[in-house]
Structure 1
Amino acid sequence: MANWVSLLESYLADKPRKSAVENDREVDIAFLNLLEEEKEEEKKRNESFKKIPRFFFKKPQLENPLYLKLRQEARTRFLHNKSAEVLDKEDLEKLWYLLKNNTSFPDDGSERMNYDQFCQVANKLHPKYRQFFQPSVFLKCDRDEYGRIEIVPFFHYIVRKVNLHQTRIQISLYDSAGYGYLKEKDLENFIFELIPSFAQLSSLQENFYPFYVITAVRKFFFFLDPKKTGRIWIKDMLTSPILAELYELRQENMSPEEAAQNWFSVQYTLRVYDHYLRLDLDRNGMLRKQELTRYSGGLTSIFVDRLFEEYQTFEGEMDYKTFLDFVLAMENKKTTPSLQYFFKILDIYKKGAIDTFVVNLFLRSIIAKLESLEKFGFKVDDIKDEIWDMAKPKCLYAITLDDLISCGVGDTIVSILSDARLFYEYDQRESGIDVDEMEDMFGDKPFQL
């Protein structure tokens, strides 16, 4: 058997040593040459390619382990190369020093620079800064009567762009498929590895990590994957306020009030999980219909029945993930994903619209619940007319999802049709609500954000 190590060493001994950059450039040139050769071969195999470019490329077999390994290695190297191009703390400090020492006249006490100074600073910096010193960037900034831009806002713009690039590279490392999106498992891995680096999560016990990760992931998927495709595009994550809310936990100091309003904080996730455990009376880790109705004393039986019909349950019981979707929908009723969530429940016959029969069905259940609590005098026809006035449907006697979203009060309509407590609060809004009376009727106030 040949000694491959010695053979390789003897072969490399005759070759000049090259830097990593030179090797990468050589690989790129060789790859482009191979692409050109492949194009020429295609033209020989099929004459049509000489006139019409090829627009369909069959994907390779994803189960091929060699292909997957090669693709993963190529992506990792690409992302590491991109990471080296991102400005670090020392780079930003150097930039700030140059900006502060290159202000333009007149000296009026403001820290501003004109385009000449802008170009001079660019010439003193490494090429990796150049993306921030393009003429188009200068023109995007507000300028005074002397054509100068403010240094501080310009520097803040660069810092935000750098943070965005760093975050994109960080997230992309978890993109197992390499197609620009994260699957649920990818996002779970991303958040799981973020936990130790966030100051506000230092008090999180390790045995609660799995439940925390599930809670965090559900918010991303509820709002960024409304069609339930099982994946979230990285570009959508970067522009979403949800990611910004998660990254707030990096702060050293966070007030209890801020933490109580942040879905990703330890306090909030523990509240949600504790509420789930308190609803689970039989302690089997799942929620039955009767247990879920305790979430709010006003939920009607027909609404809960439809909820269990439409959303994933296991042998008629709801798991923690499905409960989290329910909580997110209940606490964010004004948002489009929440209205989509509830419309699926209300649209009993899958017609894409709610007609008068469906509205009557849900309202009669509301009124029956109120009458069982000795509250009378409500008429279905009056409430139904009010709902139609609020929804302003384009098609007479048929409320679509678009109507529910565009009317601006879709959350109120959903509340009236699903929860007797919320309906009663709406009906008594002008006369005033007696808190003690409400608690006597429906029990304690339901879980809220």
Structure 2
Amino acid sequence: MLVFIFQVWELLFKMDYIKPGIYVLLRRKNLVKVIKIEEKKGSAKERQVQLGRDTIDISDVLGYKIGSIFKLVHQKGRNFKAVFTDRVSDLTDVVLEGIGSGEDNQSQWDDNTSQKLSHQEIAQLRKEGTSAADIVKQLVENNAAFELKTGFSQEKYVKKKEEKYFEYIEVLRPSIRLIAQMLYAQNPLKILNLRIDMLSQILTRANIRSGGRYLVFENSSLGLMTAAIMERVGSVGTVYQIHGGSGAPNQCIEYMNLSEVRHILKTFSFVNLKKLMNMKPCFEDTSEDSTETEQISMDDEKLRIGEKRKLEEINDLETAKKPKMSIKNWEDACSAWKEIQEMPLDGLVIVTRQPEPLVLPLLKLLAPSRSFAIFSPHIEPLTSSYSSLKSSGMALNLRLSETWMREYQVLPNRTHPEINMSGGGGYLLYGTTCIKNV
């Protein structure tokens, strides 16, 4: 009982506290960055993080709970030190206290002449380490038209300035939602325009759950889809990851701190899988301890020997032409292929620009009545895949969909859709496998 309690406590400690060797998210208003807490080996710059234009020393964040808030204490120039705090002051109430407001904004002109402070003076205030509250106060006091604005416009102005000069950071545990939103905000093309709403649709349509065995092919999405599947499968199940290039994109897997469930991930290239799929089954049990009484006929024995020689020739070819890493990839592919042959898979997820050449070969590896989901940022490859699946008779309940998402601002007396929104989050083809009628 005591051992169990200690193991639970140790697990909670590993999850809930900031310690070296883990990835965390630093959030400063809308600015988010993922970093790895490195072991300190003597250099003062080892735990300095560049966040926007500021350099932040995060040496003192170790030992605090994940989710803690730290205040940025000015050091020199654009250098700050993160110091723990348990309270965050709201600039809106502090700055707007005792300031009147106008009835409307009809007489307001955005010609940049209302502000008396110059850019050089504002930069000097930041260089001297003036607090965010004092900078915003001076901006308000030196704005000739501020008191003519409506109360809503004044609050919006202060919020905008507070976001620019915000002096607090929050250390968060990486999650698929936060990582997907961060990557999409930085550059949507890096993750094939895969928005968080479409990511959740893929997980739902492919019926990803704990204990399942799933095949995922993704290209140019930094391992985001694989990390999401691994997080949902947990420590019970298997995730077979196929990549099309020289290596698997596992950047997001590292961000998610999934080292404890890394054993469920088996990675190999599509080239090796295609070679194995073109070969006949050759994984009979040949151990001396086998108790099977079935006699193998001469024809079957010759076939098995022939296939074994074929496999050895391919191995020799790979050994001669490719480095040791490629040999290991081939061995991993053979091991995974043996498992897939023994038991068909529970689901398939494809995330790539051109999924059509992959759909039919990979769909054959699924058991009947299993779900699959295919994502592409373009609709044309999915329409071709839809037609191929329809004519093949390998799937039913096929659907081709696009998710439309728009965020809303929810505030008293001014709830409305956001002015800026995403133009598109890609397209999704999903369905269920079935036994082809002969």
Normalised TM-score (structure 2): 0.28
Structure having the higher strand fraction is: 2
- Larger Rg computed on CA atoms: 1
Normalised TM-score (structure 1): 0.28
Structure having the higher helix fraction is: 1
Q: Which has the higher contact order (CA 8 A, sep 6+)?
A: 2
